[in-house]
Structure 1
Amino acid sequence: MTAQKIQFSFELFPPRTPAGWDKLPALASALAAVQPAFFSVTYGAGGSEQNGTYDTLIRVVEQTGIETAPHLTCIGSTRARIGALLDQYRAAGVTRIVALRGDLPATAASSEAPGELRYASELVAFIRETHGDHFTLEVAAYPEMHPQAANPDADFDAFRRKIDAGADGAVTQYFFTAEAYFDFVERCTRAGITVPIVPGIMPITNHAQLTRFSAACGADIPRWIRLRLEQYQDDKAALQDFGLEVVARLCRALLDNGAPGLHFYTLNQAEPTLRLWQHLGLPTPTGS
């Protein structure tokens, strides 16, 4: 693999506690030491609050000088509010945005999405209409299907609408089966979609947490991995060593077969991602 042609990026979330905010500078600095292409910052705590996203973004940029992209969701919002957020981000020097629908309220069906913009494709179109090509727009992709999609074809059609609306690239939900990613990329190629589709990577560090996240987002944990994690759940070191090997093999398969980069879901922990980074032999600047 040619490192110069591959982009690596890290996702952070707005800290939920004063202690988390206190730790943010050290976290950002540790991850910035390997010079990712950009950071992304999720939409508030649980997708409920954009102020935390903005505050986190500003602090990360001030601490590291590295491009940082906010997640921007449209669910339950208005064009006026989204427009104000876009103006705020543009004034702050933001040039990249991760454009998402956002999580539906627990009582809403997918056809009942509240707000003036109901789908990520509509959000992408709105950003293009109001800001032209100022922002690089990343969208979400689901190699194993969005958990609320009716079927794989409907899910793929929703993804294609986001690209047609003007998205520049996509970052996938995490997965543990490389074939799911390559099958999705092949479907994109057949559909004439040529934007970069970057795999999302989740380090494995905690059995219960991973099981909970995967159930919520529809990510499949293959049976052989799940059984080993259950076996090691009371041995933290063994579980993390096993998780490191599993995810490292996945990353190597992805990069060796043409993935344009990797986007790491750090969960605001530097060590698991940097340990994986070093295990993969990814580029580490001299002196870092």
Structure 2
Amino acid sequence: MAKISFEFFPTQTDAGTEKLLKVRDRLAQENPEFISVTYGAGGSTRGRTRSIVKSVQESGIAAAPHLSCVGDSKADLREILLDYKKMGIKRIVTLRGDLPSGAGMANSELRYANELVEFIRQETGDHFTLEVAAYPEMHPQAPSFEADLKNFERKVKAGADSAITQYFFNADSYFHFVDRVQAMGIEIPIIPGIMPITNYSKLARFSDACGAEIPRWIRKQLEAYGDDSESIVKFGEEVVSNLSQNLLDQGVPGIHFYTMNQAEPSLAIWNNIR
């Protein structure tokens, strides 16, 4: 059976954190390989990220904090890595990261994810399993698909152990990406990222921003439901379950759910396909 993992983002309030801990406990029953926790632009959620990471790790689930280099100095990153080692963290999701709105690159000694991977290897050796991002439909800021593949190759050569993809709704894009990188001699596991569909307007905005295509037939059906949230959730569960089943049938190494801090949408899909 393919491995399963989940992603959280840091909450803004104590009430949100309390709710997230209940989600953590529900997802823990599925014995995930890890739960990753995102890291805001320029390290803006650093404290809240650490708090969620600590709560996940102490619950007995392996936590995998996101770590980005944009906006942080090497000294900052070194301090974070030491803290995570003391906490017992064994896995990091290694990203370039986004700058806060209007910020420059002045504080960034490392500018790209491959440089961060190399830095972590230099500082900590093989202590951490390092995940990097993969973009089956191309990173939205990449000048070309070929350039994006080369960037992925640099991250792998710097020391990445495996990759998690941006979410997608077209399985062919994932398999095409895997074929292309394997042709380059890259053999690390590439885990598909899965996004449950629960709110069309939010999904459309997020997808437009991150370059994840919603196929026209899915978009048009979701638009037709209007404010009928029950139909949107039901249709979304069917679509994403079929996508996930297709991926599993073709031997993907795992499934990584972008939970949006909710348990049930991801679990509904997981229960359908297992």
TM-score (norm: length of structure 2): 0.96
**Structure-to-structure mapping, 1:216-235, within 5 angstroms:** 216-235=209-228
Give the corresponding residue for 2:68. 73
1:276 equivalenced with 2:269 (yes/no):
yes
* Cα deviation digits, residues 161-193 of structure 1 (max 9, x gap): 000000000000000000000000000110000
Q: What is the distance in 1 between the residues matched to 2:258 and 2:246? A: 18
Contact 1:53–1:70 (Cα < 8 Å) also in 2: yes
Structure 1: distance between partners of 2:106 and 2:231 = 43
Note if 1:125 corresponds to 2:121.
no
Cα distance in 2 for partners of 1:164, 1:34 equals 33
Query: SS of the residue aligned with 1:126?
Result: helix
- C-alpha separation in 2, matches of 1:229 and 1:113: 43
What is the match of residue 175 of structure 1?
168
Shift of 1:258: 1.7
State whether residues 47 and 103 of structure 1, in contact with CA within 8 Å, keep that contact through their aligned partners in structure 2.
no
Matched, 1:239 2:235: no
Mapped pair 1:199 → 2:195 = no
* Matches of 2:212 and 2:112, distance apart in 1: 21
Q: Match of 2:19, SS?
A: helix
Distance in 2 of aligned mates of 1:143 and 1:265: 16
Q: Cα gap change, 1:45/1:158 in structure 2, threshold over 3 Å: closer, same or farther?
A: closer
In structure 2, relative to structure 1, the CA distance for the partners of 1:49 and 1:162 (3 Å cut) is same
Q: What residue number does 2:17 align with?
A: 21
Work out the CA distance in 2 between the residues paired with 1:47 and 1:156. Answer: 26
| Post-superposition offset of 1:77 | 1.1
Decide whether the 8 Å contact of 1:74 with 1:102 is kept in 2. Answer: yes
Counterpart in the other structure of 1:208: 201
* Deviates further, 208-217 or 164-173: 208-217
Calculate the aligned-residue CA RMSD, in Å.
1.6
Identity level (%) = 56
Question: Contact between 2:42 and 2:97, CA under 8 Å: does it hold in 1?
Answer: no
8 Å CA contact 2:37–2:66 kept in 1: the answer is: yes
Which moves more between the two structures, 36-45 or 131-140? 36-45
Which range is displaced more, 165-174 or 269-278? 269-278
Aligned to 1:174, the other structure's residue is in SS state: coil
User: Relative to structure 1, is the Cα distance of residues 201 and 225 closer, same or farther in structure 2, using a 3 angstrom cutoff?
Assistant: same
Shift of 1:47: 5.3
> What 5-or-longer segments of structure 2 have no aligned partner?
none
**Aligned-partner SS, 2:10:** coil
Is the aligned partner of 1:57 residue 2:53?
yes
User: In 1, Cα distance between the equivalents of 2:42 and 2:71?
Assistant: 14
CA displacement at 1:142 relative to structure 2:
0.3
**Distance of aligned partners of 1:134 and 1:261 in 2 relative to their CA distance in 1, 3 Å threshold:** same
Q: CA deviation at 1:62?
A: 2.2
Structure 1 residue runs of 5 or longer lacking an equivalent are 283-288
- Paired amino acid for 1:211: A
- Which of 21, 35, 58 is matched with 1:39 structurally? 35
Aligned 8 A contact 1:206 1:233 in 2: no
CA contact (8 A) 1:45 1:52 kept: no
Contact 2:70–2:98 under 8 Å retained in 1? yes
